[in-house]
Amino acid sequence: MQQIHARALTAEAFAPFGEVIAPRAEPTRIINAGRCERHHALGRVTVEGGEAVISIFRSEGVELPYICRLVERHPLGSQAFMPLGAAPWLSVVAEDAGGRPGAVRAFLVPSRVGLNLRAGVWHGVLTPLGGAADFLVVDREGPGANLEEVEIQPVEIVA
């Protein structure tokens, strides 16, 4: 079985797969009579032939080492995940290799940080570290085949 190390999340390392959703060092602007920082457009929602919807996903927790056996992708829209709790989580992504999942990568996502996966990016299922966790999810609803699931050779992810 292949083993990979989950790496620390940076915007640069994650850029091929999507955007990191976290406040910037400086806000885009100050709003609400000076009481609120706005960190504008941290991710771009894309939908083809549908509409953007907001959901809450509740996922069971996992521990490291974690074995990934399934990846999926959504070719018709982006998918954003923002944790609603304070626990860190794991993001498993894979490069595309001719329409199939390629090399798997894993990122340790800090607490209170979200991700926006680009349309068509192969990714693992939600993997909060520790206990169960809720995520605010923004993705596409509409006609067409927008979910592809593929079982892969097991990959063990370690810290």
Contacts of residue 159, Cβ cutoff 8 Å, sequence gap at least 6: 5, 6, 64, 108
Q: In the chain, which residues have pLDDT < 70? A: none
What pLDDT score does 54 carry?
97
Domains of the chain, earliest start first: 2-158 (2.60.120.480)
Q: 11: helix, coil or strand? A: helix
CA–CA dist 61, 11 (Å, integer): 24
Q: 14: helix, coil or strand? A: helix
What pLDDT score does 52 carry?
97
pLDDT in tens, 73-98: 999 999 999 999 999 999 999 999 99
Classify the C-alpha dihedral 121-17-105-23 as positive or negative: negative
Query: What are the tokens at 138?
Result: 């923004």
What pLDDT score does 114 carry?
98
What pLDDT score does 137 carry?
98
